[in-house]
Chain A
């Protein structure tokens, strides 16, 4: 008596109510729905409340920066992915919202699934996506005065935090990306240059 729906049937139901939603596939054929940011709250409510869908649980909400992902043409978006699961019908769905990197804004779904409150704070903290309408959009892992969003692909590693240097004098990570305040590479013959440690 399985009432679980396949991806195509779910996508059909969502698209009939919201024609702006598109069914997509990742490079390794994992299906997902692309939802325009403006339609997300309405789509989320439909998915949770429609009797045949009943996605009562938001199993995961995460995101990744597509800046360095090999694609043609290269993307300038942050993908925010919603992994829904229905305990009533035992089916799954992946939603994605593409938020432009320089003005990443997505409506919050914390009013639809309560757990989204925490997930959205994490995505905001680590990827810098602002969830509009979130009741308490604060950093959750990094300190409140942290600069930058670490999981962005162009994240610059800070030299220091509140005057505390991250590296000792003369120590530096060989493969670390260039940091703010790094001296230009010294000629090979010269003595190894000490990177100056500045307070933030």
Chain B
């Protein structure tokens, strides 16, 4: 929505307002120190750190495999992707020396894709559901959460957990698929695709919702890159970049990853990179994930008795390598639902990491808040926060 009123023309008395840390629309404990001029936001300064648990310091105190459960807590909305990012990084470190090289079984790689993409679906459902809930539409959130329950049921059968899975391990996955898992997942996907048509009719095509988001907080492609936006937030601004396709890890190079980007989907009032574009890009990515899960299910080799088997196994033996990994450092980028989850891992050759650094999408997304929120309407603050899909434990770690 455009307005002739700007922060410069008003110049009246300003009001200071604390939004959060317990505001429901901040999706956790994020505090915004807002300065308003009537209905217009003159300044909004984010205050971080309420959820800081020093996860990177913990990484220096535990052994290599013991850090995997902590990665769940970095981003609990997509814990599978968080596990995967760390495990891929440690495997890359081991593979820098032929003496400690590890070959992840093909079946494990397929299972990883299946769980990562299913988790991406459920994470994006929370994102689009919560954003519409923040704008006053409660029903779509419940529809999204109902679908997410099915994913959680599948994961619970797979590894016993519904939120923090600790499922992907260094060298493979913790358990093989349970009996009948393929049929369950296929049945879910079939039902889910029909449900998404209903979901889109309910909220995506809703005129009130679309007009609330159209043109709000549009970010140019250059700004999006400079401020380190990643994932759907970057693609919402029309930048064609997806790590799964452009720097593939695991077996993503054998899958056809298609990358949806923002195009000003809101129509008349819409602009490329506005809140509606970020919302729609997530919905398009859900469709892509559905397709990727189906592709990975087709590639899945038959299970064999021996779990370390290079094709049909699900867990390579890495215990020996992890006691004496190569000395040095690696950096790995993976595509989590909230964008790049990158690890820098430094090893001094011992059984404990020397330094574990996790770069997350929500942290850098917050760096643009101050610039973006100047001059928007008070009511649009929640639209902007919702459209970025921030998860606070990921910011504060």
Q: Which A residues contact B (CB, under 8 angstroms)?
A: 26-30, 56-60, 62, 64, 68-70, 81, 83, 87, 90, 94, 113-115, 117-119, 122, 126, 139-143, 150-151
Known: A87-B241, A118-B366, A140-B48. A56 touches B225 (CB 8 A): yes
Are B327 and A70 closer than 8 Å at their CB atoms?
yes
Are B357 and A26 closer than 8 Å at their CB atoms?
no
**CB-contact partner of A150 in B57, B349, B366, under 8 A:** B57
- Residues in A with CB closer than 8 Å to B225 are 56-57, 87
Are A27 and B359 closer than 8 Å at their CB atoms?
no
Are A26 and B344 closer than 8 Å at their CB atoms?
no
Are B328 and A26 closer than 8 Å at their CB atoms?
yes
In the bound complex, how far is the Cα of B52 from the Cα of A87, in angstroms?
31
Are A143 and B49 closer than 8 Å at their CB atoms?
yes
In the bound complex, how far is the Cα of B344 from the Cα of A81, in angstroms?
10
In the bound complex, how far is the Cα of B175 from the Cα of A2, in angstroms?
41
Are A141 and B49 closer than 8 Å at their CB atoms?
yes
- Residues in B with CB closer than 8 Å to A28 are 93, 96-97, 326-330
- Residues in A with CB closer than 8 Å to B241 are 87
Pairs across A and B, CB under 8 Å, 19 listed: A26-B328, A27-B328, A28-B327, A28-B330, A30-B329, A56-B222, A56-B225, A59-B359, A62-B344, A68-B348, A70-B348, A83-B342, A118-B366, A119-B364, A122-B363, A141-B52, A142-B52, A143-B49, A150-B57
- Residues in A with CB closer than 8 Å to B246 are 90
Given contacts A115-B228, A143-B49, could you give 16 more A-B pairs where the C-beta distance is less than 8 Å?
A27-B327, A56-B226, A59-B359, A60-B344, A64-B355, A69-B346, A87-B239, A94-B331, A114-B223, A114-B226, A118-B366, A118-B367, A140-B48, A141-B396, A150-B57, A151-B60
Closest to B397 in A: A141
**1/0 contact trace for B327-369 toward A, CB 8 Å?**
1111101000000101010101100001101010001101110
Are A64 and B226 closer than 8 Å at their CB atoms?
no
Are A140 and B228 closer than 8 Å at their CB atoms?
no
Are B56 and A151 closer than 8 Å at their CB atoms?
yes
Are A140 and B49 closer than 8 Å at their CB atoms?
yes
- Residues in A with CB closer than 8 Å to B396 are 141
Are B239 and A83 closer than 8 Å at their CB atoms?
no
Are A26 and B57 closer than 8 Å at their CB atoms?
no
Are B331 and A69 closer than 8 Å at their CB atoms?
no
In the bound complex, how far is the Cα of B346 from the Cα of A69, in angstroms?
10
**CB-contact partner of B328 in A30, A118, A119, under 8 A:** A30
- Residues in B with CB closer than 8 Å to A122 are 363
B307 to A: closest C-beta gap in Å: 28
Closest to B344 in A: A62
- Residues in A with CB closer than 8 Å to B227 are 114-115
In the bound complex, how far is the Cα of B224 from the Cα of A114, in angstroms?
10
In the bound complex, how far is the Cα of B239 from the Cα of A119, in angstroms?
22
**CB-contact partner of B364 in A30, A64, A115, A142, under 8 A:** A115
Are A113 and B228 closer than 8 Å at their CB atoms?
yes
Are B344 and A83 closer than 8 Å at their CB atoms?
yes
Best-surrounded residue of A26, A58, A70, A115 (most CB of chain B within 10 A):
A115
- Residues in B with CB closer than 8 Å to A143 are 49
Closest to A115 in B: B228
- Residues in B with CB closer than 8 Å to A141 are 48-49, 52, 396-397
